Amino acid sequence: MTQDLIVTREGPVGRLRLNRPKAIHALTRDMCEGVLAALEDWRADLSVEAILIDHAEGRGFCAGGDIRLLAESGAGDGEAARAFFRAEYRMNHRLFTYAKPIVAVMDGITMGGGVGIAAPARYRIATENTRLAMPETGIGLFPDVGGGWYLSRLPGRMGVFLALTGHRLDGAEARALDLATHYLPASALGEAKAAILAAPQEIAATLDGLATPAPEAAIMAHAADIDRLFAADTLEEILAALEADGGEWAARQRGVLRAKSPQACKVSLRLLREGALTTDFADEMAREYGVAAHVVQRPDFIEGVRALIVEKDNAPRWNPATPDGVTDTMIDHIFAALPEGQAWTPDDR
């Protein structure tokens, strides 16, 4: 049976290789728990000096989580979905707080849960193949796995734009926004990995030496428009600003937002607003777990997965269908604290 996660030691480096190529390495609960176990084994092992995370074969680094499983669980009691989120967010937190340097190779599709693995790494490599996005509002979810932390810390209103629209960044754009620390041609990845395995103490020098100037980041040409048009804290005001602008780019973004779940967009706006004020990553993950536990059992997530993943008719019927139907009370319920004993913690306790 093929291993979905390949865990090896190569000299002084611990290697984690995602290995579900047919699913673009989408994460399962077992994969998340496997990463956690490996990181724990290597944490106190002085002979392990660094961690390298990449994918074994096929296109893309990681397309996200096992969305079908989450939707099936959400349509029932939600327990399997909560168990997945619990494990995934513990993995995200462990990566974020890990003392040893971690290198993530974001070659190809890096979305949702893939961003959750790569973003905490000290070194994040983008290539000409990188397509980085948090597209969750399109399936009625929200940019989780620390999205409220990372996106809220991007310059201006860039994080709000990415969270709401799910816009795909290429490698140059990821580098320009510091979501990647280095831009390498994909042809140089073999040399980079070999050098890291041989001399993990020299990771920074190795990547600096192999990095090439990234192409112009197209998204930066729209930074001022993003800051202006996405400045408001409410979805209704953002849509009104895009409507009033009259420009082609604004009209295109308004069309994109009209296709997203209004509930998911409002959840995302609040998540980033609260994430910007959060000073402990564990608090961020605890908040996101509570929100995920509620959202996964709401109609929009189940409907979004049906429309975009299962039946692929790309015609989700959101409920509520319009932003004004998503009330503050509804969002408050989604952000409500979980009952005692059900809240997320960084470790089993």
In a domain, 347, yes or no: no
Domain around 228: 5-334
Instruction: Kindly state the tokens that stand for 85.
Output: 């989120």
pLDDT computed for residue 57 by the predictor: 83
In a domain, 107, yes or no: yes
pLDDT computed for residue 2 by the predictor: 65
In a domain, 38, yes or no: yes
**Rounded (5°) CA angle 42-43-49:** 70
Cα 84 to Cα 81: distance, rounded to the nearest angstrom: 5
Per DSSP bridges, beta strands 50-55 and 13-18 are parallel
Number of domains in the chain: 1
Beta bridge partners of 153: none
Catalytic residue positions, numbered: 65, 113, 136, 144
pLDDT computed for residue 163 by the predictor: 98
**CATH classification at residue 289:** 3.90.226.10
Q: Give the closest residue to 100 by CA, choosing from 196, 6, 206, 3.
A: 196
Task: Decide if 60 contacts 21 (C-beta within 8 A).
Answer: no
In a domain, 345, yes or no: no
In a domain, 154, yes or no: yes
Residues 63, 283, 333, 265: is their CA dihedral positive or negative? negative
In a domain, 162, yes or no: yes
Per-residue pLDDT of the chain (349 residues; tens, 9 = 90+): 469 999 999 999 999 999 999 999 999 999 999 999 999 999 999 999 999 999 998 789 999 998 888 888 888 898 999 999 999 999 999 999 999 999 999 999 999 999 999 999 999 999 999 999 999 999 999 999 999 999 999 999 999 999 999 999 999 999 999 999 999 999 999 999 999 999 999 999 999 999 999 999 999 999 999 999 999 999 999 999 999 998 999 999 999 999 999 999 999 999 999 999 999 999 999 999 999 999 999 999 999 999 999 999 999 999 999 999 999 999 999 999 999 889 999 986 5
In a domain, 118, yes or no: yes
In a domain, 339, yes or no: no
